[in-house]
A and B are shown apart, each in its own frame.
Chain A
Amino acid sequence: MRKQTLAAALAAGMTVSLLAGCGGGNQTQTQTTAAATTAAQTTAAPSQQAAGGETTAAQETTDGIPVDYFAGTVLEIYTKPTATNDLVTDPNEKEIYKLAEEATGIHVNWTLLTSEAWSEQVNLKLASGELPDAFLSNVGENTISDNMELFYDLSEEGLLETYAPNFLETVEKVYPEGLDSLRWPDGSIRALATGRPETDYSENTWFPMINTRWLENVNMEMPTTADELYEVLCAFRDQDANGNGDPNDEIPFGFANKHGLAHIHNSANYFGIANAKDGDSGHYKMVKNGVVTPTADTEEWRAWLEYMHKLMADGLLDVEGFSQSGDEWTAKVNQDLYGVTYMFSPTHLGLDFNEWEFLWIQGMEGVEPVLDGNKYYDTTVKTGLTISADSKNVPALLHWYNWMASTRQLKMTAFLGEKGILWDEYEGEIYLSDDWKNKPEFANETASTLTNNRGAGGTSVLLSLDDYAYDDRNTHLVNGVPTVLEFNPKDSTQSRSKLVKQTLDLLQDEYIFPRFQDPDAVSERTFIETDLMPMIDNYISTSIMDGVTDESWNAYLKDLETYGYYDWIEWYQKSLDGEL
């Protein structure tokens, strides 16, 4: 009996100690939070470094409002890390925000949400009514259009003119339609833009490239027609094109439908079918003379599938192209197994730039090949800053935001971090600088980690193209002096840029300008796409594997109709005409 009582007591004791354990945990947590807060406060204290030049400049540009007019205001801002991962320094440590606080006297309490669960977190914050003054990062078009009333309407007469004149200036430079580009169908403005437009480098077309060493090894000329390409690929297959002694390991034409844009669909370009980057994937429509034209039901489309099937049947395509992951594709590229494949640039894959050449052929007689993408490509984030409808600090927020965009120097600081590392000035002009590469303290850094840790990249202010010496990408500061860089094939920025310049003329002129749409209309389109796209993709793949017959073609045409292909085309026509 005594033993039993002891056991019961033991059980009770266990429970108590357990609970205590959890309570203890809670306490530790509180302490840690306290410690973290103190740390944050210390780092957020205004740095005393001189930023005099910029501050004076700002005073002149804010239309009579003294820079420190809103001093003492505290703003709550939610943002996400500048990179897609969270292992970067928090906003408190970024130069631009320190400068902004110092100049305007406005303090920002940052909450850093995660990139991975950003959209969930934003929606949860919205649902809980726990709204900050602003979200500074892409909230997303659909979230805004679904919850329009939660975001402050900035189209109010005179508001932006008074508090954000510098921002407006940039907007006029960046968008062909000016401030109207930021308007919602009802005329309101619910978000301001951030980021920077780039017309060539960031255009995300992947190029078809051919290995010229392979061409030499099999003694053939650069192909210009579909038939010639076929011959070359056959030679790649039959001979030891990569010269490793094994004539059987070559895969003439490589692609990876599950990786980036190394997509087999790109080969439709040779048959006059291309994709404009207006927010959707696939090659299923084109804008011709102001009309959205279907492409997936044309003779060119069929000719393309038949040609690709011929390649597949004759062992010229990578059989695993439809299923392999990016890793597997990259491994094959690096093992020199591909003669032709799609890439952002050879340098981005760690390849020898001089060995690869842009492969451009005419697939069909009478049909001009077109390259994916259009000449205007918007890389700005049009929903970059959203202010909550019930924020009490709208003018202060706009003022703070505008201050950071009031000079080119500040914009650059916001974008790339403090002056003198990634960028610098020379005789009044701003250049990208290479000098950091020689400084020992940055020995372990790359330009991208520097940007992410010091600047805020696309999640801060809006920049225009002429904010730094843009037109000549190859002019950098070397030892403080603008120097035209010699082309370095190992530099991925330069190689990419060179490739892009070479192919600009092949891009499409016409495209559908991305506008904010009515949410119901967007939802209608999404519903069609979720079924239509996989259906077409499946037809493409099975046709390439097994060939096209009249029977399968007719069944496919019928499917296009059932799956709403023509409604989808019509939707884009309306979008093009600005009717949504």
Chain B
Amino acid sequence: MQRMIRTRGRSANRIRQSWDNRLFDALANTFLILLTIVTLYPLWFVLVASFTDYKLINAGTLLLYPRGFQVAGYKMVFADWRVWTGYANTLFYTVCGTAFGALVTILAGYAFSRKDLPGSGILMKLFIFTMYFGGGLIPTYLMIKNLGLLDTRLLMILQGSVSVHNVIVVRSFMRTNIPDELLDAATIDGCGNGTFFMSIVMPLSKAILAVMVLYIAVSHWNSYFNALIYLTDRYKYPLQVFLRQILLQTAENHELAEDVEAVMEMQQMVATIRYSIIVVSTAPILCLYPFIQKYFVKGVMIGSVKG
């Protein structure tokens, strides 16, 4: 299939581009190049700042490469074994939470996308209502306590895995991308809902599944508030909580440090540690992206099915 796309791309290139297409390309490319530059510099700045002497970070001078090279921020972050526990926990919560969340979301999204499901309209309204109205922290806490989920890893996996927003997005994607004719044809062939879902819907929904995995994984990866509220066992803390703690600790020691050298060292850390933390906590989740991108290749299937 990939080869097909490639050949198609080549042949498309061979077609003589008309001037309006070239103008469009020029505009689009300019936009993308400008955007890349505007985005790349601040990102580069974050990376460079994480290795730079604190005095120079906030001096306002243009940073193009690390100056006064140091790794104090990284040392501080990795000095603590708890960071590794945090990594492991976060990984566990993210993997399980994403698997659970994506499955639930895709199933529900597909069911809602069907127009022949009595009662789904009311249920959708009930779902949407919760996007705006909720009981707040106290009753939620009481509920979780009554379920016996306080201070459990299961809660960290479950909470925040399912969002109505995502369900709606999936539903709308499936309504557009899975034509009713497909279902009708399949039904005539005597194909049940389960089979249809597995053999037609899922292959056609790889892209949206990829998006859901990304959304849910990132939200799990970045979440810390629930852990702060519902966990007391420090061995279960996710990475983000530890990173916040390290930052707080450094900032506090900065205020309390005894002598000039210690003060200088701490100041250096607070200023660079913010940037190191972004690098440390973002790098793993960035690795996820290429895997996701694979599924953003143009779907050839619909055409063939429809044709």
Contact = CB atoms under 8 A, between A and B. Distances in A.
Establish whether A and B are touching in the complex (CB under 8 Å): yes
Contacts of B141: 124, 127-128
Interface in B37-70: 54-55, 57-60
Given A33-B233, A116-B228, A350-B263, A85 B199 contact: no
B103 A18 contact: yes
B258 interface: yes
B211 to A, nearest CB: 19
Contact of A117 (B197, B229, B259): B229
Interface in B219-274: 225, 228-229, 232-236, 242, 244-246, 248-249, 252-253, 255-264, 267, 270-271
Given A29-B152, A85-B248, A347 B263 contact: yes
Contacts of B235: 32, 36
A32 B89 CA distance: 12
Interface residues of B, number: 58
14 contacts: A4-B191, A7-B199, A14-B103, A18-B99, A83-B252, A84-B252, A85-B246, A124-B137, A130-B145, A331-B58, A332-B59, A347-B263, A490-B261, A492-B257
Contacts of B170: none
Interface in B2-37: none
Given A446-B253, A449-B253, A490-B260, 16 more contacts: A7-B195, A11-B197, A25-B92, A32-B233, A85-B245, A85-B249, A115-B248, A120-B137, A120-B229, A127-B142, A327-B54, A330-B58, A331-B54, A446-B262, A448-B253, A491-B258
Given A4-B195, A124-B229, A448 B257 contact: yes
A3 interface: yes
Contact of A22 (B54, B57, B96, B228): B96
Given A331-B57, A331-B271, A447 B258 contact: yes
A25 B157 contact: yes
A490 B264 CA distance: 11
A447 B228 CA distance: 28
A28 B198 contact: no
Contact of A331 (B55, B92, B198, B245): B55
A93 to B, nearest CB: 13
Nearest to B151: A33
Contacts of A11: 194, 197-198
Nearest to A90: B234
A21 B99 contact: yes
A492 B228 contact: no
B206 interface: no
Interface of A is mostly: helix
A128 B142 contact: yes
B55 A446 contact: no
Contacts of A7: 194-195, 198-199
B246 A87 contact: yes
Contact of B249 (A32, A83, A332): A83
Nearest to B193: A8
B175 interface: no
Nearest to B141: A124
Interface in A427-458: 446-449
Question: On chain A, which size bracket covers the interface?
Answer: 35 or more
A42 to B, nearest CB: 15
Interface in B143-197: 145, 151-154, 157, 191, 194-195, 197
A112, A332, A348 pick with most chain B CB within 10 angstroms: A348
Contacts of A120: 137, 228-229
Interface of A: 3-5, 7-8, 10-11, 14-15, 18, 21-22, 25-26, 28-29, 32-33, 36, 83-87, 111-117, 120-121, 123-124, 127-128, 130, 327-328, 330-332, 334-335, 347-351, 446-449, 488, 490-493
Given A116-B228, A492-B258, A330 B267 contact: yes
B142 A29 contact: no
A331 to B, nearest CB: 3
A6 to B, nearest CB: 9
A133 to B, nearest CB: 17
A21 B270 CA distance: 39
B96 A25 contact: yes
A127 B138 contact: yes
B107 to A, nearest CB: 9
Contacts of B256: 446-448
A130 B148 CA distance: 13
Contact of B259 (A14, A22, A121, A491): A491
Given A29-B153, A124-B138, A492-B257, A327 B270 contact: yes
A449 B154 CA distance: 34
Given A8-B198, A36-B233, A121-B229, A446 B258 contact: yes
B46 to A, nearest CB: 14
A399 to B, nearest CB: 27
Contacts of B229: 117, 120-121, 124
A83 B256 CA distance: 11
A128 B92 contact: no
Contacts of B114: none
A117 to B, nearest CB: 4
A83 B246 CA distance: 12
Contacts of B257: 348, 446, 448, 492
Contacts of A493: 258
B270 to A, nearest CB: 7
What 6 A-B pairs are tightest by C-beta distance, nearest first? A331-B58, A7-B198, A85-B249, A4-B195, A448-B256, A85-B248
Contacts of B236: 29, 32
Contact of A327 (B58, B151, B242, B253): B58
B263 A348 contact: yes
Given A32-B235, A121-B229, A22 B154 contact: yes
B74 interface: no
Nearest to A114: B228
Contacts of B195: 4-5, 7-8
Given A4-B191, A127-B141, A350 B267 contact: yes
B266 to A, nearest CB: 9
A85 to B, nearest CB: 4
B100 interface: yes
B59 A331 contact: yes
A487 B262 CA distance: 18
Contact of A21 (B55, B96, B225, B261): B96
A29 B154 contact: yes
Given A4-B195, A335-B55, A128 B145 contact: yes
Contacts of A18: 99-100, 103
Nearest to A21: B96
A334 B248 CA distance: 21
B96 A4 contact: no
A120 B140 CA distance: 13
A509 to B, nearest CB: 28
Nearest to B232: A111
A11 B191 CA distance: 16
A335 B103 contact: no
Contacts of B260: 347, 350-351, 490, 492
